[in-house]
Structure 1
Amino acid sequence: MWDKERRSVAAVFAAHGASSGTFASRLPWLSDHLHLSAGSLGVALLMTSIGAISAMPFAGRLVARVGTKLVARTLICAFTLVVLAASWMPSLPALAVATTLLGAVGGTSDMAMNAQGILVEKRLGRSIMSGLHGSWSTGVLIAALAGSLAAHQHVSARVHFAVAAAVIAVVTLWATHGFGTTAADVGLAEEKTEDVPLFVVPRGVILLIGLVGFCGIYAEVAAQDWSSVYMHRTLHGDEAEAAFTTGMFAFTMAAGRLSGDAVVGRLGAATTVRACGVLGALGGVLVVVAQSPAPAIVGFMLIGIGVSVVVPLAFAAAGHAGPNPTLGVAGVATIAYGAGMAAPGMIGGIANLTSLRVAFCAVAVLAGLVALGGGLLGRNAPAAVGGAGAASGLDAEQIGLSTAAGAEALANEG
């Protein structure tokens, strides 16, 4: 039963990733259509992080009152519609408004589906979060390939986005239909909803977990956004090598996430994070010292493996850290989106003052800090080997307390 529910949640993750990938794949079209410079486009993209950060502190209360099923179902569909609306914006200010809304609905639905994933993980009694995030990465990849094909065929982004919105909405509605619930879960959620604060501020262990997540996401975003630039400008690789470098980073990150649950099941969450942090730090060092493209490509691949499990396990650790997984995820997400906003600008700023090599020294250091903080991400983790026995170890009270975040949280989550 719970494995069927896990597949439903994985499909929701993939749908969310496809929405993000659809938008990202046609950014050149948006830039050309509005005649935006790189700096102007950067401003529009910055607003997505601002929108997400602004919404995150309130997202826990929303999910607690409405439930993750309805939040995920409604806001992922809204996500696709805002992506479509962005293609009709007539100017940079209008596009910035659209991308702010994009960040708010995308971030809130992201938080809701992660909270649901944690609840299913509790029921199963084994790690599933890495695989769920692997599904997200797969959704991004599929959408990016579809966007590349649409662009190659000279299909307008407006037509492309409309078709993608319809497909993603159908998948989302179908997947959330598989979310399970019980009367006991609903009753407990209703009883606890009034205890959920309106504004979630991360503190205590949630803050520490969030800082580990910050380090991982900073390294992830830095490598994702700057790997091709580093290859081209610092190591003088051609455009094909630059694009290949970014692709290999994305490949190893997705592969790491898809295999992460099996590794966590064998080694445990803390050991897995420590090992990945070490690999990420070694990759960062290799990138910094590389004098030719080949070793740098290997370095970026190691960074991809190193950061692959950090975000899913940070969300999982936060969700397991207290009685309310929704609030824990919201707290970590607030910090995590801050990393996503800070990384591109900080890398660029350090590079302007010094060089990209120096800027990537920070990536190596932060990956090393992930290794040091690995123990935090292993707190209260599910049993290494789950199965029915582990799942049955969670009695009704434990499952109910885990859903204190919202009445329909468990009921609606899937």
Structure 2
Amino acid sequence: MPDTPAPTILSARNAVIAMFVLNGALFGLWASRIPTVSAKLSLDPGTLGLLLLLMGGGAIAAFPLAGRWVDRHGAAVTTVWIATIHALSILGIGLAPTVLTLAAALFFFGATHGAMDVAMNAWAGAVERHLPRPMMSRFHASWSVGAGIGAASGFGAIKLALPLLAHSLLVIGPVAALCLWLALAPSRAPHWAPAPQGGAKPAPLFTLPKGPLVLVGLIAMCASLGEGAMADWGAIFLMTTTGVTEASAAIGYAVFSVAMVIMRLGGDRVTFRYGPARTARLAGIIAAFGAGLAVGIATYPVALVGFALMGVGYAVIMPLAFSRATNDPILSPGKAVASLATLGYGGLLMGPPVIGFIAEATSIRVGFAVLMALAVLMATLAPALRPPAP
């Protein structure tokens, strides 16, 4: 690709940040209103669990399609188009009058969320290649900021007794308008156009990682499995092992999340100094040590320290994995990111039930000990994250 003017790079960088913020805000808004939707349709826990699983299934189904669109139309244009549809998709959840219509709305919301995830990470990787230092970790930190904005708006909407539809229009309307405005012009720059395909035969729609990217996918799966387990089982772990109240246990995931955001804001500097492989190895060791503290010393303060260390360790893994995928020498950026996202989301979906099965057969502490083993595996596989030779 020819040299790209600095203003074009800066505007594209800001556009990618805006897309990550928007994607996170949509997810945070939905997550904050799950109890509202559940109460509106009188959903029992089993039905709600199936609906959430369906949403994840929509994301996984959309990954290969998004990868193909990225390769055909370019990551930038694809991101903006899917972002527009994704912003509208949350309205369907607010309008759903029955469980069946909610199921359809959640599947579509999950599909657009997953497709946008693939496209914006591919665009982020393309922009990062033109920057003097790594940026992917800060892009992912922007997602966390957006999720916090969405969740905070949910708190306010609940206090004001706003239905989900009105809440979405009042919050996502302005946020989406601003973010899409920031991204529209940069997405049309010719520097982000897709490479010509020539006369090559169409590749299979669903593509698995190949070569070293398989190991990168395993690293991503270990990290996302840990993140999913922390979200769904962290509070239960604290209540079971340390005997704290439900309110105190809820602080555990907050500590984990804040540590992740802080680390992601500084993760690019660490990567620039030590390189992706050494950074990932150190991250895996820190996550393993944190899990070991939480499992080995059953006191509330020590467990919180362990949760914070796990957040620090997991924070940089997915950004490093996506950066490596967008530079894969075997698969095109769209297919590489899509295949990696499939394994990553697979880990996120598998994490909670895997820990649950282990906890039921043994104990919750043994379940969390598995996270320690997976963090050690992340550190062991870290060399796979080295940039491919030119």
What TM-score do the two structures reach when normalised by structure 1? 0.87
Partner in structure 2 of residue 245 of structure 1: 252
Equivalent in 66, 73, 89 of residue 82 of structure 1: 89
Given the alignment of the two structures, is residue 269 of structure 1 paired with residue 276 of structure 2, yes or no?
yes
Structure 1 contact 213–311 (Cα < 8 Å) conserved? yes
Given the alignment of the two structures, is residue 100 of structure 1 paired with residue 107 of structure 2, yes or no?
yes
Structure 1 contact 49–340 (Cα < 8 Å) conserved? no
Report the AA paired with residue 131 of structure 1.
Answer: R
Question: 1:167 offset after TM fit, Å?
Answer: 2.0
Quickly say closer, same or farther: Cα 1:380–1:127, change in 2 above 3 A.
farther
Structure 1 contact 43–96 (Cα < 8 Å) conserved? no
Equivalent in 205, 228, 246 of residue 221 of structure 1: 228
Question: 1:82 offset after TM fit, Å?
Answer: 2.0
- Match of 2:258, SS? helix
Equivalent in 312, 334, 344 of residue 305 of structure 1: 312
Question: 1:18 offset after TM fit, Å?
Answer: 0.5
Distance 2:362 2:104 in 1: 34
Partner in structure 2 of residue 151 of structure 1: 158
Equivalent in 329, 352, 357 of residue 360 of structure 2: 352
Given the alignment of the two structures, is residue 25 of structure 1 paired with residue 25 of structure 2, yes or no?
no
Quickly say closer, same or farther: Cα 1:228–1:170, change in 2 above 3 A.
same
Partner in structure 2 of residue 372 of structure 1: 380
Given the alignment of the two structures, is residue 201 of structure 1 paired with residue 208 of structure 2, yes or no?
yes
Aligned length: 382
Question: 1:187 offset after TM fit, Å?
Answer: 7.5
Q: Deviations over 1:233-267 (max 9, x none)?
A: 33221122112111111000111111111111111
Quickly say closer, same or farther: Cα 1:264–1:65, change in 2 above 3 A.
same
- Match of 1:199, SS? coil
Distance 1:101 1:207 in 2: 28
Given the alignment of the two structures, is residue 64 of structure 1 paired with residue 83 of structure 2, yes or no?
no
Equivalent in 338, 343, 349 of residue 330 of structure 1: 338
Distance 2:72 2:254 in 1: 40
Distance 1:180 1:337 in 2: 26
Partner in structure 2 of residue 361 of structure 1: 369
Quickly say closer, same or farther: Cα 1:183–1:137, change in 2 above 3 A.
closer
Distance 1:146 1:79 in 2: 18
Equivalent in 218, 240, 254 of residue 211 of structure 1: 218
- Match of 2:196, SS? helix
Partner in structure 1 of residue 121 of structure 2: 114
Structure 1 contact 283–302 (Cα < 8 Å) conserved? yes
Distance 1:278 1:329 in 2: 25
- Match of 1:204, SS? coil
What TM-score do the two structures reach when normalised by structure 2? 0.92
Segments of 5+ residues of structure 1 without an aligned counterpart are 382-397, 399-414
Distance 1:301 1:284 in 2: 10
Distance 1:184 1:145 in 2: 37
Report the AA paired with residue 73 of structure 1.
Answer: V
- Match of 1:291, SS? coil
Distance 2:102 2:40 in 1: 11
Equivalent in 151, 163, 174 of residue 167 of structure 1: 174
Distance 2:222 2:194 in 1: 38
Question: 1:94 offset after TM fit, Å?
Answer: 2.5
Distance 1:221 1:147 in 2: 21
Quickly say closer, same or farther: Cα 1:192–1:223, change in 2 above 3 A.
farther
Quickly say closer, same or farther: Cα 1:127–1:369, change in 2 above 3 A.
same
Quickly say closer, same or farther: Cα 1:77–1:185, change in 2 above 3 A.
closer
Q: Which moved more, 1:194-203 or 1:34-43?
A: 194-203
Partner in structure 2 of residue 177 of structure 1: 184
Question: 1:98 offset after TM fit, Å?
Answer: 1.7
Question: 1:35 offset after TM fit, Å?
Answer: 0.9
- Match of 1:201, SS? coil
Given the alignment of the two structures, is residue 282 of structure 1 paired with residue 322 of structure 2, yes or no?
no
Distance 2:131 2:63 in 1: 27
Question: 1:71 offset after TM fit, Å?
Answer: 2.1
Structure 2 contact 76–192 (Cα < 8 Å) conserved? no
Distance 2:67 2:383 in 1: 25
Question: 1:185 offset after TM fit, Å?
Answer: 6.1
Equivalent in 13, 16, 19 of residue 6 of structure 1: 13
Distance 2:43 2:384 in 1: 43
Segments of 5+ residues of structure 2 without an aligned counterpart are 1-6
Distance 2:241 2:43 in 1: 26
Question: 1:80 offset after TM fit, Å?
Answer: 2.4
Distance 1:334 1:34 in 2: 31
- Match of 2:110, SS? helix
Structure 2 contact 63–114 (Cα < 8 Å) conserved? yes
Distance 1:192 1:138 in 2: 43
Structure 2 contact 138–264 (Cα < 8 Å) conserved? yes
Distance 1:132 1:187 in 2: 21
Quickly say closer, same or farther: Cα 1:290–1:192, change in 2 above 3 A.
farther
Distance 1:7 1:182 in 2: 14
Partner in structure 2 of residue 385 of structure 1: none
- Match of 2:141, SS? helix
Question: 1:209 offset after TM fit, Å?
Answer: 0.8
Distance 2:192 2:39 in 1: 50
- Match of 2:129, SS? helix
Higher relative contact order (CA 8 A, sep 6+): 1
Distance 2:115 2:329 in 1: 20
